[in-house]
């Protein structure tokens, strides 16, 4: 099986059903496997359930296999007698209904298998020249499990809303931000990352989720376990969990109505995973993971804006209000209402430019403050007429 060639989904589903057709797999039973193989942490080092030989697959190819496995386990436990591939394509169509240019051309294909292969390829963002390892690690692939949770909700209830996914992401960002703030000693990069999260939350919606609201939103045991594991990952950005962070994590567990043993296990899991794979995962060898993430995220945004400068200029020229607000943002803070307008209008532009679709993927909004920061600097000619003096 080759996850980078057409036909891999048919091959994997065939192997999966041959091995597990008579076994009662559930997402809860699979979750620990997804932890151990690194899927939950966004760094896939092994194949969950070990039913396929890892061979010489890249981490991205292993991620594709694990993502499909998680989706298949959900489908088998909820709608075993229905068509997995068609149900999954329809699910992605529904959650991306508001993102017409991202998946519309893919979903139009008559071949559902080909469509799903392209969706997963696009979803995992396999393009080393565009999305570097640190971005994959912290944002895109670490949030893939949101798809799986949403897929389960969709299969059970028959519907899924954009609002539910946005709330899930906002709850995660709010709690991760709270976790980052729990550090005893913060470097300038910790503060930069905290600031990035704060700005991202402000631009995403007028009414931000408070910590209490985020906790209340997480209802199922698996959602709670997932956010705890992500929080543990966030504390490990400097490769250690200090006393203040430990205290925070136990309080988080208490707020989530989890046992102290659940928190201890989550901390041990992240520590064991990082220690076991520190030689395999390039990012973990860096002196400061947060510094790598922030610096590389800035490079990504600059590259994308520069690469699409002509198209961006054309789209921006059609929105005088957006240009005025972006210019204003360079010299003073925007009001919540202005931030909302900037967010909505920029997302409309991203939908119109396929290569900027990354900013409307789960986690992509985290980079929105960097986009707003760099657009006026990288496209100065577009803003000269709208320059606001101090």
Query: How confident is residue 182, by pLDDT bands cut at 50, 70 and 90?
Result: confident
Specify whether the CB–CB gap between 287 and 300 falls below 8 A. Answer: no
High-pLDDT (> 90) share of the chain, % = 38
pLDDT of residue 100: 40
State yes or no: pLDDT of 384 exceeds 80: no
Query: How confident is residue 127, by pLDDT bands cut at 50, 70 and 90?
Result: very low
Lowest mean pLDDT among 262-266, 299-303, 318-322: 299-303
pLDDT one-digit tens code per residue, 343-381? 889 988 988 888 887 777 656 667 788 888 888 888 776
Query: Which of the pair, 102 or 328, is modelled with greater confidence?
Result: 328
Specify whether the CB–CB gap between 75 and 135 falls below 8 A. Answer: no
Largest interatomic CA distance in the chain: 70
pLDDT of residue 237: 66
Query: Which of the pair, 44 or 103, is modelled with greater confidence?
Result: 44
pLDDT of residue 214: 94
Query: How confident is residue 283, by pLDDT bands cut at 50, 70 and 90?
Result: low
Mean pLDDT of 118-137: 59
pLDDT one-digit tens code per residue, 27-82? 999 999 999 999 998 889 999 999 999 888 988 899 999 999 999 999 999 998 89
Half-sphere exposure of 348 (CA within 13 A, CB side): 11
pLDDT one-digit tens code per residue, 243-272? 899 999 999 999 999 999 999 999 999 999
pLDDT of residue 105: 60
Mean pLDDT of 113-139: 64
Task: Tell me how far apart the alpha carbons of residues 379 and 337 are, in angstroms, rounded to a whole number.
Answer: 24
Residue 136 CB partners (closer than 8 Å, separation 6+): 42, 60, 125
State yes or no: pLDDT of 205 exceeds 60: no
Q: Mean of the per-residue pLDDT values for the chain?
A: 83
State yes or no: pLDDT of 102 exceeds 70: no
Query: How confident is residue 103, by pLDDT bands cut at 50, 70 and 90?
Result: low
> How remote is the C-alpha of 187 from its chain's centroid?
24
Cα distance from N-terminal residue to C-terminal residue, the chain = 61
Region at 295 (left for phi over 0; alpha for psi -120 to 50; beta for the rest): alpha
Query: How confident is residue 202, by pLDDT bands cut at 50, 70 and 90?
Result: low
Residue 161 CB partners (closer than 8 Å, separation 6+): none
Per-domain boundaries in the chain:
8-156, 162-285, 308-386
**CATH number for the 162-285 domain, one of 1.10.357, 2.40.30, 1.10.3680, 1.10.10?**
1.10.3680
Identify the CA nearest to 169 among candidates 368, 370, 8, 389: 368
pLDDT of residue 388: 45
Query: DSSP string of 58-88?
Result: -HHHHHHHHHHHHHHHHHHHHHTTS-HHHHH
Query: What is the pTM assigned to this prediction?
Result: 0.75
Mean pLDDT of 168-180: 86
């Amino acid at each position: 099986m080759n996850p980078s060639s057409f036909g891999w989904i048919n091959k994997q589903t065939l192997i999966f059903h041959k091995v597990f057709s008579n076994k009662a797999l559930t997402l809860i039973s699979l979750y620990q496997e997804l932890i151990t193989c690194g899927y939950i942490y966004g760094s896939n080092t092994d194949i969950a359930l070990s039913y396929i030989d890892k061979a010489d697959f890249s981490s991205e190819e292993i991620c594709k296999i694990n993502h499909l496995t998680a989706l298949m386990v959900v489908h088998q436990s909820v709608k075993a007698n229905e068509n997995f591939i068609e149900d999954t394509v329809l699910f992605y169509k529904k959650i991306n209904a508001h993102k017409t240019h991202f998946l519309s051309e893919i979903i139009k294909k008559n071949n559902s298998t080909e469509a799903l292969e392209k969706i997963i390829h696009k979803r995992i963002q396999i393009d080393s020249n565009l999305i570097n390892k640190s971005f994959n690690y912290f944002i895109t692939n670490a949030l893939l499990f949101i798809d799986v949770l949403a897929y389960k909700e969709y299969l059970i209830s028959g519907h899924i809303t954009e609002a539910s996914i946005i709330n899930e992401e906002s709850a995660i960002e709010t709690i991760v931000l709270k976790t980052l703030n729990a550090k005893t000693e913060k470097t300038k990069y910790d503060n930069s990352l905290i600031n990035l999260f704060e700005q991202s939350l402000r631009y995403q919606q007028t009414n931000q989720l408070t910590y209490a609201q985020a906790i209340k939103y997480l209802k199922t045991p698996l959602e709670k376990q997932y956010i705890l594991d992500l929080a543990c990952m966030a504390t490990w950005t400097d490769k250690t969990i200090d006393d203040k962070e430990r205290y925070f994590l136990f309080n988080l567990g208490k707020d989530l109505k989890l046992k102290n043993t659940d928190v201890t296990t989550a901390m041990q899991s992240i520590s064991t995973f990082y220690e076991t794979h520190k030689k395999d995962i390039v990012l973990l060898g860096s002196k400061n993971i947060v510094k790598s993430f922030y610096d590389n995220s800035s490079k990504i945004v600059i590259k994308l804006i520069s690469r699409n400068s002509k198209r961006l200029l054309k789209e921006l020229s059609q929105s005088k209000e957006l240009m005025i607000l972006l210019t204003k943002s360079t010299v003073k803070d925007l009001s919540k209402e202005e931030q909302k307008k900037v967010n909505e209008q920029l997302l409309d532009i991203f939908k119109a430019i396929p290569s900027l679709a990354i900013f409307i993927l789960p986690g992509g909004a985290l980079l929105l403050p960097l986009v707003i920061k760099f657009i006026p600097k990288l496209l100065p000619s577009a803003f000269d007429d709208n320059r606001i003096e101090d």
